[in-house]
Homo-oligomer: A and B are copies of this chain.
Amino acid sequence: MAAKDKFHAVVRIALEKEQWKITDDPLRLEVGGTKFEIDLGAEQLIAAERGEEKIAVEIKTFLSDSPLTDYHAALGQFLNYRLALEVSDSDRILYLAVPISIYEAFFKREFAQTSVERYQIKQIIFDPIQAVIVQWIP
């Protein structure tokens, strides 16, 4: 299985372990004549008075030789997806899912942290071996 598909399957399992119900695989949107496919859509019942929480998750492998180039692409995709969700599904929160090895090696660098903060990139850090979510960064 290609790494991209493997990570997709792993994040799906990791979300299910935390009682998320996968509702869309992929989550399809159409906004302003443009079609989007976000990797996963999921829902979870939270405190009854708050109803259901809905998320969308875009999974990135960062497998090229340049994590910075991969991050440029991930950032632009994330911001365009978030904009599309604002228009078509505004109570769904978008997360970028990133393997723990990349989080440690790239996202802890000073510039990456500045960029993630500036553009308010919510992250799910996952362990691809254990198929668990290590950290939610809201």
Interface residues of chain A, those whose CB is within 8 Å of chain B, are 31-34, 68, 71-80, 83-84, 87, 109-115, 118-119
Whether the Cβ atoms of A83 and B118 lie closer than 8 Å is: yes
Whether the Cβ atoms of B72 and A32 lie closer than 8 Å is: no
Give me 11 other A-B pairs in contact (C-beta within 8 A), A34-B110, A73-B73 excluded. Answer: A32-B109, A33-B111, A34-B109, A34-B111, A71-B80, A72-B73, A72-B76, A72-B77, A75-B79, A76-B79, A79-B115
Whether the Cβ atoms of A72 and B68 lie closer than 8 Å is: no
A-B residue pairs in contact (CB < 8 Å), sample of 27: A31-B111, A32-B109, A32-B111, A32-B114, A34-B68, A34-B110, A34-B111, A34-B112, A71-B76, A71-B80, A72-B77, A72-B80, A73-B73, A73-B76, A75-B76, A75-B79, A76-B77, A76-B78, A79-B79, A79-B115, A79-B119, A80-B111, A80-B115, A83-B111, A83-B115, A83-B118, A84-B111
Residues in B neighbouring A111, C-beta threshold 8 A: 31-34, 80, 83-84
Task: Determine which residue in A33, A68, A75 has the highest number of CB atoms from chain B within 10 A of its CB, and name it.
Answer: A75
Residues in B neighbouring A118, C-beta threshold 8 A: 83
Residues in B neighbouring A77, C-beta threshold 8 A: 72-73, 76
Question: 4 shortest A-B CB distances, which residue pairs?
Answer: A76-B76, A32-B110, A75-B76, A32-B111
